[in-house]
Structure 1
Amino acid sequence: MTFNYIHRCFLTDAEKKSKDIQVVEIWVRQVRELAYDAEDIIDTFNLHVERRKNATIVWRIIGFWNKLMTLHKTGMLIEQFNKRSTEISTYKSQYNIHESVSMQDSSHRTERLVSKLATRRTTPLVEEQVIVGFVEEATQLAAWLVKDEKEPRRRVMSIIGMGGLGKTTLAKLVYGKREVENHFDVCAWIYVSPKYRVRDLLSSCLKQVRGSITIDERSHIEKMDDGELKIELHKYLQGKRYLVVIDNIWNIDTWDRISASLPENQNGSRVLITTRNKEVAIHADQSTQHHELRLMNKDESWDLFCAKVFSSSGSCPPQLVHTGKRIVEKCGGLPLAIVMLGGILIGKERTNNAWSRVLACVDWQLNQDSNPSREILALSYTDLPYYLKSCFLYLGLFPKDSDIKVGKLTLLWIAEGFVQVRGEEPLEDVAEDYLEELIQRSLIQVTQRKYHRGPIETCRVNDLLRDFAITEAKNIRFLDILGNKMYPVSARPRRLGIHSCDTSMDVNHSSASFSKLRSILFFDVTFQIDMWKSTFGGRTKMLKVLDFEGVNLSGGLPKQIWKLVFLHYLGLRNCFSVEFPPSIGNLVKLQTLDVRNTLLCSLTKEVWKLKQLRHLYLNSFGVINLDSMEDLPRNLISLEISSDLWNCMWQASVRFGCLQSLTLNGELRCPNKSLRNFFPLSILELHLEESVLEEDPSSVLGSLPALRELRLRNKSYIGNKLLFLPEGFFQLEFLELRGLQALEEWTVEDEAMSSLRHLVIYDCPGLKMLPDGLINVTTLQKFEISNMPNAFLDRVKENGEDWDKIKHVPSITCN
């Protein structure tokens, strides 16, 4: 029986009791501290073991007495731990704790929920939006946006309301309407976080209105300063009818800074903003009648609750109606509270006894505090299975209102050890199920998918939920935030999110304070790497996660980092430049190494010896050391590298049987000029850029049995014909053809792309027409066309020559 298992069982029982009787809060705190101490004892001993493995024979001999002292010290700590454990266990019998108020099945998903999550492999769950009561409002707002005959000036409409009423959901509903998409030349969605930077907002807006852009164009935009971005965005939008949604504006100053880049043209452009501050709305446009959200009435509340809990039928069984309506009444008409309670009931048995236990728990929880909204949040958290509690609390590390990259989040969960082994399933799949379950419970909002109904790309946490997560996490010493005066750093932090270095780094922590750290995530890109030694030094020896994303590391990484033998995740994305010394080979437990958009001066052969690597992202480096390439770990799941390196791997007969995601940049030099057997059959996602393939790759790529996403970009293929054979690409859900300058003819034969949902064609100037076979791709839901010649656009317009081929597609956008 492992320590982690005992830890989970002990704390699960303790946390249940802490929610039932307030008296045991001290006891729960003692249990958790005991668990932390046990983890520290084990990790300290393992650290000593790992160091001895890497020591020379001389140092092993010299360190013999040190070994004895370590064993003696560890033995004493274990003895003290056992004594405290016995004392704490005796306290337990002194409390007469009953389970009457606790939802006893809260830590177990029902078969219904397990079945739902299992279908994600073939049919990804669509995020549920709070649309009950919003349908009519969304229709009215959409009509206002597209009506410009009498009001050609740029107008601003605001959606106003308190947190949790659904402002963003309503705006998304309007933004996604087909008539809105087709009415405007370009559209953009800007989200304003409390600690926003104007350049980030303008940069995001410019990238969106420009559509699909090349890496060089993106890099050029990211190098612009505020003034250049303002001019460029204003110039680009000047002659266009645009729609810009600005979500979550808090004050007038923010509006003034953004609006200066949005031209006051006279062609029916519109701006839609969401805000809690009515003054912002009036300031933005005094002549427009703004839309104020209200709390839901009883009927709307009940309809929303049923839509959440009974998504397939939308109706509640008669025997549950009475109890269900009593539960809904506790929410006071607040949509967020309704969907969260609904999220709890999705995983419960549909019996009156099970629902009555939930109602009793709601009543008990609401009696503890005068703030019903917060208590419903607390109830949703209490109801989480133990394996999801840490995953939810971890979200508190990220800045308020930030879009969180899901791929990164799930890898961080795995690195932290939150994701439990489940049979032979890859941990990455289990982590995705965790994410889906949090979404089902309305604790996470999906903000973007990679493509229509595809895998989730980014998510966000409602600010009320995030505040709750931070408070709860700090109470149990789970995480700390450096740079937020509302949440001072505890004496012995275990996880640290660095949001600001301006004042918080002046806090004088003792040497012991950072010695318990397991994770550091940097969100302040102004952090100077030379501050590492004075702030952390060599004290963070037990780190599992270290993420420097966005920090300028051109001055070199501290040498202490290469001694972190427990490190599972090292994030060096967008860090300008780094250099890997041979000592990177010490990071024997590393699972994820992310060096995207960072110049790696040289690629040392020691990287190939990191046997536990599962996710490797290297797309910019200088000298390649090819020695010992045969040692490269074969269990890689994600790989992003230059084509040169992939060519070398293939020539060295390196094969990856588990690889699911592959991104290659640069010319592919295939053996005998053939792509056959050049890509693993396990591939789900393939991105090729500047591959300069002369022969049509469609027959080979179309035969990959698991391929779901294919992006052919910027001279990846330089031939003039593509032929998709019958039954080819039968699993493909997303296809992007971009920057294929020589492409003139594309043929899609019967039953090819029979699962396609989302198609993008961008900057293929030679393509004369759409393939006739698209008329048979009945699964296609979204078609985006951008930067194509006018003759091509005329063909795909309604009643154009190609219209019949795509008129069955629900969403078609042309830029």
Structure 2
Amino acid sequence: SWELLQKKVFQNKSCLSELYDVSLEVAKRCKGLPLVVILVAGIIKKKMEESWWHEVKDAIYSYLGESEEYSRGTVHLSYDNLPDYLKPCLLYMGMFPEDHNISASNLINLWIAEGFVQDVESGRLEEAAEGYLMDLISSNVIMVSKGGRYNGKVKYSQVHDIVLHFCLERSREEKFMLAVKGNYSNFRLSDWKESRVSFSFSDGLSEIASKTRKPFHQHLRSLRMTLIKGEVSNWSAFRQFSKLRLLKVLNLSSHRVGRLSSAALQALIHLKYLAVSARKFNFHPESHLPHIETLIVLCPFSRTVLPPIFWKMKTLRHVEINDVVFDLKNNKKWISEESSKLENLRILKQVAIKIGADDNVDVLLRRCPNLQELEIGILCDEDSVEICQLESLTQLQILRLSIDSFQLNVSKLRLPLHIKKLVLRGTRIESIVSSIGGLPSLEYLQLVLPTFIQLKEWCLGDVTFHKLKLLKLECLNISRWDASEESFPLLERLVIKKGHELEEIPLSFADIQTLKQIKLVQCKNKSLKASALKIKEEAEAIGGSDIIDLIVKDKGFEDAKKIITALKGKGISATEAAGFCWG
């Protein structure tokens, strides 16, 4: 217990001498229960003071009983020691199913829509909510299930089962939220006082709504429905929404319906968060949601066209719609007006834009001046030769750019200087590689289906990616790659996926002192795998330790790896051992 407590409180540092004795007493109070140790660590590390640690130790003493009850009591203690503004954020985790990996971005949007994030500067709600999440993680009541590989940011989180059960119990006591699982018949409207409800069954809402009229629409502010695994949803009670006029949050993304129109949601004038799934989604030209902040539409089977009314949704912060198209020809009047700016929009994903003589993409981008993340696909007319410019998006940090034509000239593409993550798909990479290398903040670069003027060869020359930490190459069509260690002075991870023709990774990568991992996924070329092993061996010889983690996602590689390790133990080099295994 003491070792785990010290690790959670002091990380890699030693325990402070004045806290050593009390830390032993605190660890003893934890009864050897890992969850209790972790939760207590989250409390005591808030103040590195002996008096505070004794206070926590005495509080733990009052929570005695069986192991499970003792753990729950410690969760209660952790909850009581949270600031008031974080308590609803933790209880809200009860809206999600057990063992569910919760997207940090999605959770932040929900907290904002619920009004939990307040008293912050305009336009900085996401940053404040992210701070809330990090505070809860620091308190050890929320766990990181997946973090960003290049920037350390949290991508997914979850809570321990005992923490979840506490959230559910406390939510019932405070009438904060109700979670209903199994069959809808287990749900009694007479017991329902909460304004937030999470259903974990597919067909029950229509039945519940039909039982009575008033309780359903009078209380409901937030609704989440989770499709139970193995069931197929045939629920299409959108006609019921006219009763839910006070809804702020509606998450039906696990329930795919046939056709859905925004007109069916017109009555929900207070709605701030909407996530739905449909085979076809139509934006009604005259109806819109005046307070909507997050709009997520999963519609993978058909293209969605945004009408002019979209530019009236002034409160939008996050838009994600599968294969959505801006109707620029019919929107020109709207997007050319200064009043049509979406000043609050921060994230715009999966949008497709056709460029040609009649379309002015630059004007459109100026209508979204504060974008921080953009995922855009460029559709080209036959006469299209020049790509649109993105430099006006001065706050953009993440860009995913996909181009459907190899003929498009991207040599004059100008990117915002502050981009940290860049994903390019189907791009003639050689003509813009020097521009990419000139991005001073770029940490993540992914190239998918890149094309090369010099077929089968990619020579970087003197191009340097000064801050790049992660390089991911996917579906390469080259056999030779020429690059020096000076091109990637801070590289930490190299990922190559489906690089079937690439013969080897430049051996100069062994001299990159920051390189921690090489990952090969579905790469058939045996010499490529051998070169990765060679780089690992050379780096070990230089650094004197196993500093590069080599991961190969390939059938049969693990067996070969064991043989290679055995042969290396007999003095055979990694390259020779690889040659023995792979011929």
TM-score range, shorter chain: 0.7 to 0.9
Contact kept, 8 Å, 2:241 with 2:267, in 1: the verdict is no
Which runs of 5 or more residues in structure 2 are unaligned?
381-385, 389-407, 555-583
Report the RMSD for the aligned CA atoms in angstroms.
Answer: 3.3
Task: State how far apart, in whole Å, the 2-side matches of 1:418 and 1:468 are.
Answer: 20
| Pairing 1:758-769 to 2, within 5 Å after superposition | 758-769=493-504
- What SS does the corresponding residue of 1:760 show, helix, strand or coil? strand
Q: 1:641 aligns with which of 350, 362, 365?
A: 350
Tell me what 1:330 maps to. Answer: 29
**1:670 equivalent in alignment to 2:373:** no
Amino acid in structure 2 at the alignment position of 1:498: F
| Pairing 1:303-702 to 2, within 5 Å after superposition | 303-315=3-15, 317-348=16-47, 350-366=48-64, 371-422=69-120, 426-451=124-149, 454-484=152-182, 490-502=191-203, 506-507=207-208, 508-524=211-227, 526-533=232-239, 536-557=240-261, 559-572=263-276, 574-584=277-287, 586-598=288-300, 599-621=302-324, 624-626=327-329, 627=331, 628-630=334-336, 631-644=340-353, 650-652=361-363, 654-655=365-366, 657-666=369-378, 669-670=386-387, 673-676=409-412, 678-689=414-425, 691-693=426-428, 695-702=430-437
Q: 1:782 aligns with which of 517, 522, 545?
A: 517
Contact kept, 8 Å, 2:202 with 2:226, in 1: the verdict is no
Task: State how far apart, in whole Å, the 1-side matches of 2:495 and 2:526 are.
Answer: 18
Would the alpha carbon gap of residues 345 and 752 (structure 1) be closer, same or farther in structure 2, given more than 3 Å must change? farther
Deviates more, 1:405-414 or 1:374-383: 405-414
Would the alpha carbon gap of residues 477 and 673 (structure 1) be closer, same or farther in structure 2, given more than 3 Å must change? same
| Pairing 1:251-270 to 2, within 5 Å after superposition | none
Contact kept, 8 Å, 1:320 with 1:352, in 2: the verdict is yes
Task: State how far apart, in whole Å, the 2-side matches of 1:444 and 1:370 are.
Answer: 18
- What SS does the corresponding residue of 1:387 show, helix, strand or coil? helix
Contact kept, 8 Å, 1:694 with 1:717, in 2: the verdict is yes
Q: Residues 581-621 of structure 1: CA distance to partner in whole angstroms, max 9, x if unpaired?
A: 1244x323222222345334422122233222222223424
Tell me what 1:706 maps to. Answer: 441
Tell me what 2:549 maps to. Answer: 811
- What SS does the corresponding residue of 1:633 show, helix, strand or coil? coil
Task: State how far apart, in whole Å, the 2-side matches of 1:597 and 1:733 are.
Answer: 34
Amino acid in structure 2 at the alignment position of 1:620: D
- What's the CA shift for 1:381? 0.9
Tell me what 1:257 maps to. Answer: none
Contact kept, 8 Å, 2:44 with 2:53, in 1: the verdict is yes
Would the alpha carbon gap of residues 354 and 670 (structure 1) be closer, same or farther in structure 2, given more than 3 Å must change? same
Would the alpha carbon gap of residues 602 and 423 (structure 1) be closer, same or farther in structure 2, given more than 3 Å must change? closer
Amino acid in structure 1 at the alignment position of 2:207: D
- What's the CA shift for 1:389? 1.0
**1:730 equivalent in alignment to 2:430:** no
Would the alpha carbon gap of residues 623 and 413 (structure 1) be closer, same or farther in structure 2, given more than 3 Å must change? closer
| Pairing 1:155-166 to 2, within 5 Å after superposition | none
Which runs of 5 or more residues in structure 1 are unaligned?
1-300
TM-score of the pair, normalised by structure 2: 0.77
- What's the CA shift for 1:723? 5.1
- What's the CA shift for 1:531? 2.3
- What's the CA shift for 1:401? 1.1
Task: State how far apart, in whole Å, the 1-side matches of 2:458 and 2:124 are.
Answer: 35
Task: State how far apart, in whole Å, the 2-side matches of 1:588 and 1:503 are.
Answer: 29
Q: Residues 683-729 of structure 1: CA distance to partner in whole angstroms, max 9, x if unpaired?
A: 3333233x343643322222223333222223477764545575743
TM-score of the pair, normalised by structure 1: 0.57
Would the alpha carbon gap of residues 724 and 695 (structure 1) be closer, same or farther in structure 2, given more than 3 Å must change? closer
Amino acid in structure 2 at the alignment position of 1:336: L
**Structure possessing the higher relative contact order (Cα contacts under 8 Å, 6 or more residues apart):** 1
- What's the CA shift for 1:762? 1.0
| Pairing 1:66-81 to 2, within 5 Å after superposition | none
| Pairing 1:67-216 to 2, within 5 Å after superposition | none
% identity of equivalent residues: 25
Task: State how far apart, in whole Å, the 1-side matches of 2:453 and 2:154 are.
Answer: 32
Contact kept, 8 Å, 1:747 with 1:773, in 2: the verdict is no
Amino acid in structure 1 at the alignment position of 2:69: N
Task: State how far apart, in whole Å, the 2-side matches of 1:707 and 1:725 are.
Answer: 19
Q: Residues 769-805 of structure 1: CA distance to partner in whole angstroms, max 9, x if unpaired?
A: 22354234322222211222324334325347x8537
Contact kept, 8 Å, 2:202 with 2:235, in 1: the verdict is no
Task: State how far apart, in whole Å, the 1-side matches of 2:540 and 2:42 are.
Answer: 38
- What SS does the corresponding residue of 2:491 show, helix, strand or coil? coil
- What's the CA shift for 1:557? 4.3
Would the alpha carbon gap of residues 654 and 505 (structure 1) be closer, same or farther in structure 2, given more than 3 Å must change? closer
Would the alpha carbon gap of residues 500 and 514 (structure 1) be closer, same or farther in structure 2, given more than 3 Å must change? same
Question: Where is the strand percentage greater, Structure 1 or Structure 2?
Answer: 2
Would the alpha carbon gap of residues 368 and 694 (structure 1) be closer, same or farther in structure 2, given more than 3 Å must change? closer
Tell me what 1:740 maps to. Answer: 476
Task: State how far apart, in whole Å, the 1-side matches of 2:126 and 2:263 are.
Answer: 31
Contact kept, 8 Å, 1:482 with 1:488, in 2: the verdict is no
Amino acid in structure 2 at the alignment position of 1:451: R
Contact kept, 8 Å, 2:222 with 2:248, in 1: the verdict is yes
Would the alpha carbon gap of residues 797 and 514 (structure 1) be closer, same or farther in structure 2, given more than 3 Å must change? same
Would the alpha carbon gap of residues 370 and 778 (structure 1) be closer, same or farther in structure 2, given more than 3 Å must change? closer
Task: State how far apart, in whole Å, the 2-side matches of 1:779 and 1:386 are.
Answer: 42
- What's the CA shift for 1:443? 1.4
Task: State how far apart, in whole Å, the 2-side matches of 1:564 and 1:719 are.
Answer: 56
Task: State how far apart, in whole Å, the 2-side matches of 1:338 and 1:418 are.
Answer: 29
- What SS does the corresponding residue of 2:214 show, helix, strand or coil? coil
- What's the CA shift for 1:337? 0.5
Task: State how far apart, in whole Å, the 1-side matches of 2:150 and 2:216 are.
Answer: 46
- What's the CA shift for 1:368? 13
Would the alpha carbon gap of residues 481 and 367 (structure 1) be closer, same or farther in structure 2, given more than 3 Å must change? closer
- What SS does the corresponding residue of 2:266 show, helix, strand or coil? helix
Question: Where is the helix percentage greater, Structure 1 or Structure 2?
Answer: 1
- What SS does the corresponding residue of 1:687 show, helix, strand or coil? strand
Amino acid in structure 2 at the alignment position of 1:513: F
Amino acid in structure 2 at the alignment position of 1:550: S
Would the alpha carbon gap of residues 580 and 480 (structure 1) be closer, same or farther in structure 2, given more than 3 Å must change? same
Contact kept, 8 Å, 1:795 with 1:803, in 2: the verdict is no
- What SS does the corresponding residue of 2:290 show, helix, strand or coil? coil
Contact kept, 8 Å, 1:593 with 1:616, in 2: the verdict is yes
Count of aligned pairs = 506
